Amino acid sequence: MSNHALMWFRRDLRLNDNLALQAVAESGATIVPIFVLDPAILKSPNTGASRLSFLLKALRALDEALQRHGSRLWVAHGDPALVLAHLVERFDATALYFNHDYSPYARQRDRSITEALSIPVYGFDDGTLNTPGTIMKDDGEPYIVFSPFKRKWQTLERRPVAAGYLDTARFYHFDTDVPPVPDLSDLGFAPTMATPPADEATATNYLNTFMAGAVYHYGESRNRLVAEPWHYERPGSSYLSPYLRLGMLSPRQAYWAARKAYEQADSKDARKSVESYVSELVWREFYMHILYHYPRVLHSNFRAEYNLMAWVHQPEQLQAWKDGRTGYPVVDAAMRQLKAIGWMPNRARMIVGSFLTKDLLIDWREGERHFMQWLIDGDPAANNGGWQWVAGTGTDAQPYFRIFNPVSQSQRHDPEGEYICHWIPELRDVPTQFIHTPWEMDQPPVGYPQPIIDHHFARQRAIDAHKAVKDTK
């Protein structure tokens, strides 16, 4: 009788510190590495060519890594339940291993597959530092405010980085042709942009580079508007989110590297900056926790009173926002960056989110969907949490009267207009004194639009709309 086990890779595209892979290796079974391209996900309106391109690149890299172990990654395309049943029979598998995904769709899918298969199925909590559902208030209810969640999280132990199991892992040696990783065109998508390297070695290198220096300035630099990411010479973001999203980097690797950096910090400010980065990891955990307990947030306001919110239906303004043609330079630069490279700094995400939901008073779900279509680090939990936070509809949300002024935000975080000029060529000849307000020039730049809305009018309109919701409680 064979002792083959299927290792179903999903959001864990790495060989190191992979809890499911560690478990199957330690079981002594021969590991059959597989990945399933699910049509239900591919056809979702939230799936865009940019993140899919990044995923396919990561799958090719994982396949190459497995070849160094004498194996391959078997990539199948179809309904996971049908595909897995077929692969169990094809490889005479005696068990299925995977790491949990906490999206509502994935949880239901995994329950159905576990019930349908005739072999043991083993799932592992690999994608978070602490398993969703285990961080609860004393009364047994889930936390819905970040600060007490973080305080409870800080009291818990963290699993160490797993090591050593690859030395004894036995991978399956395929004696037949392995299906190749498809191209975007094979899946019905047109290429949209060049994506960054997508492999475990690059992710590890970025983590090490960040922790060697830039993390000590993160508290201040994370708000910089960075035109070209993945350059650590000028501190900015960690740039690790796409690698955490697809699991080329584990949250444990990021957390323990930060702990080491904290211990090596040579000043109070440096330690505070490391703490700021760890806090971002906790926000990631918090939003997964919220999605786990309240899956309805993917389709509705967390705060039910906002179901009465009088959102404005303005297709032309929505399209101008998507295209980076609002007339507000910092907003337009960020939206053009998104379409060019599939990423934007966190500060830019807050600015454009506030502009859409407060200045234009457009439903946050429009922005959430657009981000998921374009961001290579688009994550359902974090993306939803961020949009509901900035819109004021979510748990522990930004106060409704806190409305970002796109001009002052631009002046504060891009004072010389470097970010703006990088992404908006129409403004490269504009003097610095007008780079944030080009409409104030005697002769506004040719080809660049006037503001589509007056911010001061929009701010008061948003406050009035939110007050109307408050008055219904």
Q: What is the pLDDT of residues 394-424, one digit of tens each?
A: 998 778 788 999 999 999 999 999 999 999 9
pLDDT at position 175, please?
87
Report the C-alpha gap between 342 and 338 in whole angstroms: 5
Residue whose pair of structure tokens reads 């179901």 in the numeric block? 307
Per-residue burial over 417-439, b if 16 or more Cβ lie within 10 Å, else e, is bebbbbbbebbeebeeebbbbbe
Please, are residues 174 and 71 in contact by the beta-carbon 8 Å criterion? yes
311 flagged as catalytic: yes
Q: Are residues 396 and 459 in the same domain?
A: yes
Tell me what the pLDDT averaged over the chain comes to: 95
Q: Are residues 132 and 122 in the same domain?
A: no
Catalytic choice (46, 223, 230, 283): 283
Q: Are residues 140 and 271 in the same domain?
A: yes
Q: Are residues 280 and 332 in the same domain?
A: no
Q: How many CB atoms lie within 10 A of CB 139?
A: 5
Checking DSSP bridges between strand 4-8 and strand 93-99, what pairing results, if any? Answer: parallel
Q: Are residues 137 and 271 in the same domain?
A: yes
Please, are residues 132 and 102 in contact by the beta-carbon 8 Å criterion? yes
418 flagged as catalytic: no
280 flagged as catalytic: yes
3 flagged as catalytic: no
Write the CATH number for 136: 1.25.40.80
Give the residue among 120, 128, 141 at the shortest CA–CA distance from 102.
128
387 flagged as catalytic: yes
Catalytic choice (153, 321, 387, 423): 387
User: What does the block give as tokens for 276?
Assistant: 């700021």
Report the C-alpha gap between 189 and 194 in whole angstroms: 14
Catalytic choice (153, 256, 280, 321): 280
Would 48 be classed as within a structural domain? yes
Catalytic choice (46, 346, 418, 439): 346
Q: Are residues 119 and 132 in the same domain?
A: no
pLDDT at position 183, please?
95
Give the residue among 51, 49, 55 at the shortest CA–CA distance from 36.
55
Q: What is the pLDDT of residues 26-77, one digit of tens each?
A: 999 999 999 999 999 999 999 999 999 999 999 999 999 999 999 999 999 9
Structural domain boundaries, residue 154: 127-158+200-293
Residue 261 to residues 39, 254, 469, Cα–Cα distance (Å): 42, 11, 45
Residue 1 in this model has a pLDDT that exceeds 70: no
Q: What is the pLDDT of residues 314-358, one digit of tens each?
A: 999 999 999 999 999 999 999 999 999 999 999 999 999 999 999
Q: Are residues 141 and 116 in the same domain?
A: no
- Both ends of the chain: CA-CA distance in Å? 65
The pLDDT confidence band at residue 282, using thresholds 50, 70 and 90, is very high
Q: Are residues 315 and 456 in the same domain?
A: yes
Catalytic choice (46, 230, 311, 418): 311
Domain count, the chain: 3
Write the CATH number for 350: 1.10.579.10
Catalytic choice (153, 256, 343, 364): 364
389 flagged as catalytic: no
Would 167 be classed as within a structural domain? no
